[in-house]
């Protein structure tokens, strides 16, 4: 399974159907600038705002801020275990959820949800290709695809359900958790079953 898709169409063709069909953030930004200059569509202005939220505005390296926030939350989920509620952890988790564009009292719009779906797809595909998920015993023993898939499902549950719930932020994180689980079920064979067994319901 490969992490990224290879673009095969002009990003502007049948807009915005191919908006996520490139790994080149500058190319995506250029397409948005062209659309904004020609039409000034508020949806495209919003897409630009979200692109800058996720990748920043630099001209050189533009790391994925959503992926960074996910990895930090995943580490926190592992390290927190069953530790009691703390105000510090609540603040840290809330700040990382904000990195995804999540705000108290705001409902995520269509453009933000689309960006979450792109992130979710890339993250899940990356995990499926990751040696840490595909092996055990210090990377020496390969595991089955089912084992890998279950591991990813468990990480989604612990990171975006259990951790926020432990901080009183479950409802705030739920929209992103829903996107993650829906994307997982679409990409992974028997994904819905693995999610249920991981404790989704």
With cut-offs at 50, 70 and 90, classify the pLDDT of residue 141.
confident
Give me 188's structure tokens: 């992974």
pLDDT digits (tens, 9 = 90+) for 53-87: 999 998 778 999 999 999 999 999 988 866 777 88
Give the three-class secondary structure for 12: coil
- Are residues 185 and 114 part of one domain? yes
End-to-end CA, the chain: 27
- Are residues 98 and 180 part of one domain? yes
Average pLDDT estimate for 138-165:
92
pLDDT of residue 24: 92
The overall average pLDDT reported for the chain is 91
Give the three-class secondary structure for 136: strand
Give me 143's structure tokens: 């595991």
Please say which residue of 14, 40, 63 terminates a domain: 63
The domain total for the chain is 2
> 160 near 176, Cβ under 8 Å?
yes
**Rounded distance between C-alpha atoms, residue 115 and residue 198, angstroms:** 25
Residue 88 pLDDT > 60: yes
pLDDT of residue 5: 43
pLDDT digits (tens, 9 = 90+) for 16-33: 999 999 999 999 999 999
- Are residues 186 and 101 part of one domain? yes
- Are residues 118 and 45 part of one domain? no
> 157 near 145, Cβ under 8 Å?
no
Residue 8 pLDDT > 70: no
Q: What is the pTM of this model?
A: 0.90
> 170 near 164, Cβ under 8 Å?
yes
3-class SS shares of the chain: helix, strand, coil, % to 5: 65, 0, 35
**Rounded distance between C-alpha atoms, residue 67 and residue 53, angstroms:** 12
Q: Which helix (H) or strand (E) holds 134?
A: helix 131-134
- Are residues 69 and 45 part of one domain? no
pLDDT digits (tens, 9 = 90+) for 94-131: 999 999 999 999 999 999 999 999 999 999 999 999 99
Rounded to the nearest 5°, which phi and psi values hold at 142? -70, 150
Give me 170's structure tokens: 């479950």
pLDDT of residue 82: 67
Please say which residue of 63, 82, 110 terminates a domain: 63
- What is the residue range of 86's domain? 65-198
- Are residues 22 and 33 part of one domain? yes
Residue 200 pLDDT > 80: no
Average pLDDT estimate for 41-49:
97
Q: Which helix (H) or strand (E) holds 142?
A: strand 141-142
């Amino acid at each position: 399974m490969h992490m990224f898709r290879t673009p095969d169409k002009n990003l502007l063709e049948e807009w915005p159907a191919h908006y996520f069909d490139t790994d080149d953030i500058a190319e995506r930004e250029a397409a948005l600038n062209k659309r904004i200059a020609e039409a000034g569509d508020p949806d495209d202005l919003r897409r630009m705002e979200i692109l800058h939220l996720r990748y920043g505005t630099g001209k050189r390296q533009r790391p994925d801020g959503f992926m960074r926030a996910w990895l930090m939350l995943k580490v926190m989920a592992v390290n927190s275990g069953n530790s009691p509620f703390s105000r510090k952890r609540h603040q840290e988790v809330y700040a990382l959820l904000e990195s995804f564009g999540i705000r108290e009292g705001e409902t995520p719009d269509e453009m933000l949800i689309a960006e979450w779906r792109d992130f979710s797809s890339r993250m899940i595909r990356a995990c499926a290709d990751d040696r840490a998920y595909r092996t055990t015993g210090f990377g020496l023993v390969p595991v089955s695809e089912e084992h890998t898939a279950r591991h990813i499902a468990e990480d989604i549950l612990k990171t975006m359900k259990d951790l926020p719930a432990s901080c009183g932020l479950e409802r705030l994180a739920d929209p992103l958790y829903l996107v993650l689980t829906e994307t997982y079920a679409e990409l992974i064979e028997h994904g819905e079953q693995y999610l249920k067994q991981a404790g989704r319901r």
